């Protein structure tokens, strides 16, 4: 009896310890599974660019979307969980591309005028360049693949500056236009392009070309826009242009001469006509994460999307904009001092959601002449604010809508008419409620 009690006293704690250890390991396994599912579901959520696309996907046959929780489920391991989600993502991504291609095919007609002006090719893949639709990102990628840089080999595409990306003369890359001579060389490749919601694209152009200093745009289109002012005042190079003025110029001039507008803000089909290109893959800026991962995989550099996470992307974007604009400041030094340049960049970073809308720029004096010092200051403000993707997106949307609040309905309707085919080709809403449905809409 005494031996039995002693045996029980020894084995019982060991059993409890073993059971606790087993439960802890199981907990860790479940945590791993859940984390994998959360990560993959987050990537899956990036697949869908517009509510229109989400709604169509949700109308798929019941056997695809039905809930199977009423039937016995197999034992779940990290491998089966992640494989199932990856399979679902791949299936939905393919279905989404089918939808986008069908959208284009349905909208294509003889009314869709335009051409395919700028194609870059690599390894049997053709990319049609569309400005203000991640063109900097993709031209960087191709410069990296061709080693077409100012310094020779770089370890990452993001080591290539914005200045070199767009202004450095090509050594190895050749841009070609789709015509009878190049048709076979282009149409026998895998073809892709990217689109963007027109109202957001136009707002982005204004930030990049008129809030931030751009020597070419200020001296050419800026002068043209100012000549339309009825009072004839404030036509000097340094005089600012408002967002309503910019859109008014596009709506008025573009009604008859849309094809002659600068390719940063003319409708996409004029320079990258999908009815002629017949792309295999249509990416959208709204789903850049998921869409770019697919193309990077086709190009054999999937690792690029892995190293370019949320924070590193923002850091690189802030650094790129500061470096580029500080370098270009000398061309407009009579209008833009370093202090003014820093203020303009600060405003752009607020519009992009990188820093809080209420944040004040307290850096002053000679320190503003150094782009590296200004970058470190901006980055500290970003880190201290602990910005999430949702917070930044909400701020970006709020500031865009605030800008559109001052645009007259006649101008909005002119933009709507001019981009009619882009709305139809790429499945965007021509009359978004947050712009057209406001109670304070200007008539």
Residue 423 has pLDDT above 90, yes or no: yes
Residue 286 has pLDDT above 70, yes or no: yes
Question: How many other C-beta atoms are found inside a 10 Å radius of the C-beta of residue 246?
Answer: 22
- Model confidence at 80, pLDDT cuts 50, 70, 90, reads low
Residue 70 has pLDDT above 60, yes or no: no
Residue 130 has pLDDT above 60, yes or no: yes
pLDDT for 339: 96
In sequence order, the 6+-apart residues with CB closer than 8 A to the CB of 245 are: 225, 228, 229
For 20-24, 45-49, 217-221, 422-426, which range has the lowest pLDDT when averaged over its residues?
A: 20-24
Mean pLDDT score, 316-335: 95
Q: What pLDDT, in 10s, does the model give residues 173-211?
A: 999 999 999 999 999 999 999 999 999 999 999 999 999
Q: Nearest CA to 391 among 315, 322, 312, 310?
A: 310
pLDDT for 17: 46
Residue 37 has pLDDT above 60, yes or no: no
For 45-54, 283-292, 415-424, which range has the lowest pLDDT when averaged over its residues?
A: 45-54
Mean pLDDT score, 369-377: 96
Pairing of strands 175-176, 119-122: antiparallel
What average pLDDT does the chain have? Answer: 84
Residue 47 has pLDDT above 70, yes or no: no
How far does CA 109 lie from the centroid of its chain? 28
Furthest C-alpha separation in the chain = 110
pLDDT for 251: 93
pLDDT for 83: 62
Alpha-carbon dihedral sign for residues 219, 167, 325, 251: positive
Tokens of 415: 């933009």
- What is the DSSP secondary structure assignment for residue 380, as one 8-state letter? H
pLDDT for 25: 42
Tokens of 191: 């073809």
Which run of H or E residues covers position 189?
none
For 69-73, 101-105, 169-173, 402-406, which range has the lowest pLDDT when averaged over its residues?
A: 69-73
pLDDT for 235: 75
Q: Phi first, then psi: what are they for 431, rounded to 5°?
A: -135, 65
pLDDT for 162: 94
Residue 62 has pLDDT above 50, yes or no: no
Q: In this prediction, what percent of the chain has a pLDDT beyond 70? A: 79
- Model confidence at 279, pLDDT cuts 50, 70, 90, reads very high
Q: Whole-structure pTM over 0.75, yes or no?
A: yes
pLDDT for 87: 66
- Model confidence at 266, pLDDT cuts 50, 70, 90, reads very high
Residue 326 has pLDDT above 80, yes or no: yes
pLDDT for 367: 92
Q: Phi first, then psi: what are they for 290, rounded to 5°?
A: -70, -40
For 38-47, 129-138, 143-152, 236-245, which range has the lowest pLDDT when averaged over its residues?
A: 38-47
CA distances from 184 to 119, 179, 190, 298 (A): 13, 9, 12, 21
Q: In this prediction, what percent of the chain has a pLDDT beyond 90? A: 68
Tokens of 349: 């970073």
Residue 77 has pLDDT above 80, yes or no: no
User: Who has greater pLDDT, 37 or 277?
Assistant: 277
pLDDT for 64: 31
Q: What pLDDT, in 10s, does the model give residues 206-251?
A: 999 999 999 999 999 999 899 888 776 667 888 899 999 999 999 9
Q: For residue 19, with 0-12 CB atoms within 10 Å meaning exposed, 13-18 middle and 19 or more buried, which class applies?
A: exposed
User: Who has greater pLDDT, 48 or 381?
Assistant: 381
Residue 51 has pLDDT above 70, yes or no: no
pLDDT for 141: 97
Distance CA 35, CA 45 (A): 15
CA distances from 201 to 247, 298, 390 (A): 12, 26, 20
Identify the residue whose tokens are 């002012």. Answer: 229
Q: Do residues 250 and 422 make contact, with C-beta atoms less than 8 angstroms apart? A: no
pLDDT for 265: 95
Mean pLDDT score, 157-168: 94
Q: Nearest CA to 282 among 122, 96, 134?
A: 96
pLDDT for 244: 96
């Amino acid at each position: 009896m005494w031996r039995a009690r002693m045996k029980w006293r020894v084995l019982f704690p060991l059993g409890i310890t073993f059971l606790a250890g087993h439960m802890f390991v199981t907990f860790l396994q479940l945590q791993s599974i859940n984390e994998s599912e959360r990560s993959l579901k987050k990537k899956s959520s990036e697949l869908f660019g517009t509510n229109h696309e989400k709604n169509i996907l949700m109308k798929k046959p019941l056997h695809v979307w039905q809930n199977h929780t009423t039937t016995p489920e197999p034992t779940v391991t990290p491998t089966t969980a992640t494989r199932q989600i990856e399979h679902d993502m791949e299936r939905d991504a393919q279905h989404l591309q089918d939808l986008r291609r069908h959208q284009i095919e349905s909208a294509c007609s003889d009314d869709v005028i335009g051409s395919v002006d700028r194609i870059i090719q690599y390894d049997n893949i053709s990319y049609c360049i569309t400005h203000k639709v991640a063109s900097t990102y993709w031209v960087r990628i191709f410069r990296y693949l061709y080693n077409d840089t100012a310094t020779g080999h770089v370890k990452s595409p993001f080591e290539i500056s914005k200045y070199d990306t767009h202004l450095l003369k090509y050594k190895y890359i050749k841009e070609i236009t789709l015509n009878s001579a190049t048709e076979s060389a282009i149409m026998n490749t895998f073809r892709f392009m990217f689109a963007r919601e027109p109202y957001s694209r136009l707002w982005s152009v204004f930030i990049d070309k008129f809030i931030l200093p751009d020597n070419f745009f200020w001296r050419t289109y800026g002068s043209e826009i100012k000549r339309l002012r009825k009072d004839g005042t404030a036509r000097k190079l340094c005089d600012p242009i408002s967002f309503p003025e910019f859109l008014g110029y596009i709506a008025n001039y573009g009604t008859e001469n849309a094809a002659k507008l600068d390719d940063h803000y003319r409708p996409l089909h004029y320079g990258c006509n999908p009815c002629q290109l017949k792309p295999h893959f249509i990416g959208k800026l709204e789903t850049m994460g998921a869409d770019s991962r697919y193309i990077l995989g086709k190009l054999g550099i999937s690792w690029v999307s892995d190293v370019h996470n949320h924070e590193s992307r923002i850091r690189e974007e802030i650094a790129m904009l500061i470096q580029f604009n500080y370098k270009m400041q000398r061309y407009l030094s009579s209008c833009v001092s370093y202090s003014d340049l820093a203020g303009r960049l600060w405003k752009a970073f607020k519009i992009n959601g990188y820093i809080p809308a209420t944040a004040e720029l307290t850096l002053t004096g000679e320190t503003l002449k150094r782009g590296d010092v200004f970058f470190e200051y901006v980055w500290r403000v970003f880190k201290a604010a602990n910005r999430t993707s949702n917070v930044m997106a909400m701020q970006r949307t709020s500031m865009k809508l605030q800008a559109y609040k001052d645009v007259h309905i006649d101008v909005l309707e002119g933009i709507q008419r001019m981009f009619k085919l882009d709305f139809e080709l790429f499945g965007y809403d021509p009359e978004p409620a947050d712009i057209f449905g406001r109670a304070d809409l200007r008539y």
